[in-house]
Amino acid sequence: KRVAVFASGSGSNFESIVNATKGKEKGYEVVLLFSDQPTAYALERADQLGVSSYFISPKNYPDKMAYEADILGLLMRYRVDFIVLAGYMRLIGPMLLKRFDGDIINIHPSLLPEFPGLDAIGQALEAGAKITGVTIHYVDEGMDTGPIIAQEKVEIKPSDTYDSLQKKIQKIEHRLYPQTLDQLLRKGETIAKTSVN
Ligand code: GRF
């Protein structure tokens, strides 16, 4: 499957998803990095990794529909068939949801449905939670709401700081996201092949 990763920030998950395919047979290939932020470090990582990257500014469009129509054009040019959100700080609208129905996933740094939205790590610390984690889920029109695909727990120790907790969470993300994506898309291939025969 041909995957596009959407990222607004650092792009460390994007990098781990690309690196997992290096020299290996995987159920996916990353063909495109898309960003809504001109200064996203993910764009630089894409250059270093040799992945095509595009920034399109939402400011140049009257509404989300028009913005996503142009993104869709880009995705069609690259024959993308699956979208992976990795720190993409924008809700996906009906235009992309309709065309990529069931083919968009996201990663969130909490055990959803706990601590959705912005700064899930800060929310967990603030709440005095003893356990948090990572969730990978299908994307729907809500904020961090679609059906859950994979979750992994992380213990919050009294000695944990924001930074130490974030490090533990990212370490899990960088393993779990490529692994889940591979399993998901490999399965898709098998199903497609069986139905053709
Ligand atoms: C990750 O923690 C992810 O769970 C959240 O945003 C962060 C993105 O980090 N949705 P990066 O840009 O992949 O480094």
CB 108 within 8 A of CB 137: yes
What spacing in Å lies between the alpha carbon of 175 and ligand 1's midpoint? Answer: 13
CB atoms within 10 A of CB 185: 20
CA atoms within 13 A on the CB side of 190: 8
- The candidate with the shortest Cα–Cα distance to 13, out of 36, 37, 30, is 30
9 within ligand 1 shell (Cβ under 6 A)? yes
Active site residue 174: no
Q: What is the CATH number of the domain that holds 187?
A: 3.40.50.170
Q: Which of the residues 108, 165, 177, 180 is marked catalytic?
A: 108
Q: How many domains does the chain have?
A: 1
Residues 35-77 have pLDDT tens digits of 999 999 999 999 999 999 999 999 999 999 999 999 999 999 9
Separation between Cα atoms, residue 176 and residue 150, nearest integer Å: 8
Separation between Cα atoms, residue 177 and residue 84, nearest integer Å: 9
Residues 96-116 have pLDDT tens digits of 999 999 999 999 999 999 999
Separation between Cα atoms, residue 7 and residue 14, nearest integer Å: 8
178 within ligand 1 shell (Cβ under 6 A)? no
- The candidate with the shortest Cα–Cα distance to 33, out of 8, 58, 57, 63, is 8
ipTM > 0.95 (yes/no): yes
40 within ligand 1 shell (Cβ under 6 A)? no
- Host domain of residue 31: 2-196
Q: Which helix (H) or strand (E) holds 16?
A: helix 12-19
